[in-house]
Amino acid sequence: MAQAEAEFESIDESKNVAVTDDDLQEKSKGELIKLAGQLRDRRNELNQKASARASERDDLNAKTREKVDEAQEHREKRDVLNERVQEHKEVRNELNAKANELFDEVEDLKRDLKLDEGKSIDELKSEIEDLEFKQQTEVLSTEDERELIEKIEDKREQLQQKKEKLEQNEELDDLKEKAEQVRSEASKHHQKVTELADQAQEHHNQMIEAYREADDIRDEADEMHEKFVEAQEAADRHHEDFVRVQKRLRELDRQEEEERKAEREKEKEKAREEAEEIYEKFKEGKTLDTEDLMKLQKTGLL
């Protein structure tokens, strides 16, 4: 892990190898060979760093694409859910409007039946109970008790009339039941709206988070790309200098070869001159030793 992390650290400039034009002209062949080796080794090291950084950058870019794809999936699911929310909203609103119409009809019918006139059934029941309790618990004169009984009977009659009107009017009950059913159906769609909206919001939140993570990873990838460029450019500079040194070494090799060739030509010329002198002696009838004869043979004069 430490080695891997080291690949991503800033380039240590102190380890770089520099070459000047004066170095190329003034350094010896041996020094240049050593310099070429240093340039090659540093170039290879930097290329390795660049390769590791490019690989890490590519991995980060792949992760970025994964996060973007994940965000897109959440976006699509959110949009589908929002469409369903809108559909249920429309149905809910239509049902609520219908329920309102039905309840308005109920109120109109109740007014027609005059069910709202006077006290309600619950109020009449409560008042009857209070009067009966008073009759049972209080000591009353005959006149007061007779008046109380008349009140109770009057209340009971009113209550009975209310009940009879309600019982006799099936249309009102049916209308109320239908209105309540429609309202109940609207409530179901409202509940669905709430559930789907919550799900859509969750996918929206996950989409935002995935995009945020994608941005963070993309920033890391961009930073890693900069580090890759840093290492690659340094490697390229070392390669260029390595090529320059190699070119200079080839020039030196050619110079040495030309010098050796010139030296050989010089030696051949010297041998030819010496052989011609020996040949002149031979023509003059002088005795030649074995070495002189071999020199003549080498030059082709014998």
Q: Establish if 237 belongs to a structural domain.
A: no
Residues of the chain above pLDDT 70, percent: 90
With left for phi above 0 and alpha for psi between -120 and 50, is residue 300 left, alpha or beta? left
Q: Establish if 298 belongs to a structural domain.
A: no
Interval 14-37 mean pLDDT: 93
Rg, Å, the chain Cα set: 56
Interval 95-104 mean pLDDT: 95
Helical residues (DSSP H) of the chain, grouped into ranges: 2-6, 21-26, 29-112, 121-137, 142-168, 170-283, 290-299
Which two structure tokens, joined as six digits, stand for 274? 């010496």
Question: Distance from CA of residue 122 to its chain's centroid?
Answer: 65
C-alpha distances in Å from residue 162, one per residue of 30, 115, 118, 148, 170: 124, 7, 10, 21, 14
List of residues 6+ apart from 211 with CB closer than 8 A? 67, 68, 71
181, 63 Cβ separation under 8 angstroms: no
Among the listed residues 242, 252, 297, the one whose alpha carbon sits nearest the alpha carbon of residue 272:
297
Residues of the chain above pLDDT 90, percent: 58
Interval 207-231 mean pLDDT: 96
Q: Establish if 102 belongs to a structural domain.
A: no
> What's 160-203 look like in SS3?
HHHHHHHHHCHHHHHHHHHHHHHHHHHHHHHHHHHHHHHHHHHH
Q: Establish if 85 belongs to a structural domain.
A: no
pLDDT at residue 42 tops 80: yes
CA–CA gap between residue 49 and residue 55 (Å, rounded):
10
Interval 109-128 mean pLDDT: 75
pLDDT in tens, 125-158: 898 898 888 888 888 788 888 888 899 999 898 8
Per-residue confidence (pLDDT) for residue 1, from 0 to 100: 42
The answer to whether the predicted template modeling score (pTM) of the entire model surpasses 0.75 is no
Question: Distance from CA of residue 270 to its chain's centroid?
Answer: 82
Q: Establish if 67 belongs to a structural domain.
A: no
pLDDT in tens, 44-86: 999 999 999 999 999 999 999 999 999 999 999 999 999 999 9
Count structural domains, the chain. 1
Identify the band that residue 2 occupies on the pLDDT scale cut at 50, 70 and 90: very low
Determine phi and psi for 16, rounding to 5 degrees. -70, 155
CA–CA gap between residue 132 and residue 249 (Å, rounded):
129
Q: Establish if 203 belongs to a structural domain.
A: no
Question: Distance from CA of residue 192 to its chain's centroid?
Answer: 32
Q: Establish if 175 belongs to a structural domain.
A: no
DSSP for 4-40, written as a single string: HHHTTSPP-GGG-----HHHHHHS-HHHHHHHHHHHH
Instruction: Identify the domain containing residue 151 by its residue range.
Output: 118-168
Which two structure tokens, joined as six digits, stand for 199? 């799900």
Pick the residue with more confidence: 107 or 287?
107
Q: Establish if 131 belongs to a structural domain.
A: yes
CA–CA gap between residue 177 and residue 106 (Å, rounded):
10
**How many CA atoms lie within 13 Å of 268's alpha carbon, on the beta-carbon side?**
8
